[in-house]
Amino acid sequence: MGSIRDMELGRFGVWTFDFEYQPAAQLRDSLQELEQRGWRAVWVPELFGREALTHAAYLLSCTERMHVVNGIAQIWARGAQWMHGGALLLADAFPDRHVLGLGFGGISRPGTTPLAAMSAYLDEMDALETPNPKPEAQMHRILAAYGPKMLAMARDRSAGAHTYHVTVSHTAQAREILGPDAFLGVEHPVLFETDPEKARAIAREHLHPYLNQQYNIAKFRRLGYSEDEIGNGGSDRIVDDLVFWGDLGTIVDRLHTHVQAGADHVGVQVIGIEPGQSAMAHWRRLSDALLPQTVSA
């Protein structure tokens, strides 16, 4: 895999579900403003219906320099042949602007562990012989990874790892496993709310699915949180570690702690926005605080 660090994603990027709710024209306008303001990368999940590779292709087509990262494309949503072919085309059409983030989301397959499923999927991708032209630019691939074994696979079989809803201590542990050369992209939610009671209530609503999922619970246990801290909506400690809330200065300072712990890049997810609404006002504030080379609108 080629080096993602050479793509110049910047230290901070936009990680968002918002685009699932925006029509194509608004998507175009949103991406173009983000690019104009100096953001170099946008991360998009695959969860609410928009297919990962066509979504990435449209976002790339709307901009001139923006990098688009699938965070993640679900391996159980499409066969390895189609994932590989789609990513090859994006690498050819938009050289060094697309990163294929792979993860095991989607409908699980009984009797198959995520580690085994990912290994088999990568085996199939790597063994493919296809008439599709090989692009001059590298196809960049990273893996969603939490635990030590998946992080090691990300190090050995891709350009690096994408972590989601993790703590700063997890970032330090991930960097140790990945070593100095692999890319580490870390997502982290932020909330512009200074009242502790309101902030934690919104954060708990956001975290509810993750505090009740098998693999996330295992991740939190490895990080030293007790059953009581994970259960019952999450303790103040785990909520405050997983969602950075407060004023702009507080949020920015806390985001930098991931970089200090070893992250190459932090995908910032603004929460507290109703579905269908835009977080653009917050992205504007964050661009002024996080991106020293921001271009004025």
**Residue 151, amino acid:** L
pTM listed for this prediction: 0.96
For residue 292, name the pLDDT band (cuts at 50, 70, 90).
Answer: confident
Give yes or no for residue 105 having a pLDDT over 90.
no
Lowest mean pLDDT among 138-142, 177-181, 290-294: 290-294
Q: What is the DSSP string of 81-118?
A: HHHHHHHHHHHHHSTT-EEEEEE--SS--TT--HHHHH
Residues 2, 140: contact at Cβ < 8 Å? Answer: yes
Tell me: the pLDDT tens digits for 123-169? 999 999 999 999 999 999 999 999 999 999 999 999 999 999 999 99
pLDDT for position 107: 67
Gap between the Cα atoms of 162 and 143, Å rounded: 6
Number of H helices, E strands in the chain: 12, 10
Give yes or no for residue 254 having a pLDDT over 80.
yes
pLDDT for position 295: 45
The total number of residues written for the chain in this structure: 297
Q: What is the mean pLDDT of the chain?
A: 95
pLDDT for position 296: 43
Give yes or no for residue 261 having a pLDDT over 90.
yes
pLDDT for position 106: 61
Give yes or no for residue 244 having a pLDDT over 70.
yes
For residue 104, name the pLDDT band (cuts at 50, 70, 90).
Answer: confident
Lowest mean pLDDT among 3-7, 151-155, 164-168, 190-194: 3-7
Gap between the Cα atoms of 125 and 119, Å rounded: 10
pLDDT for position 275: 87
Tell me: the pLDDT tens digits for 18-55? 999 999 999 999 999 999 999 999 999 999 999 999 99
Q: What is the DSSP string of 179-214?
A: TTTSEEEEEEEEE----HHHHHHHHHHHHTTGGGSH
Give yes or no for residue 247 having a pLDDT over 60.
yes
Give yes or no for residue 108 having a pLDDT over 70.
no
pLDDT for position 3: 82
CB atoms near residue 135 (< 10 Å):
17
Query: Which tokens is 99 given?
Result: 């990163």
Give yes or no for residue 294 having a pLDDT over 70.
no
Q: What kind of fold does domain 5-188+254-280 have according to CATH? A: TIM Barrel (3.20.20)
Give yes or no for residue 14 having a pLDDT over 50.
yes
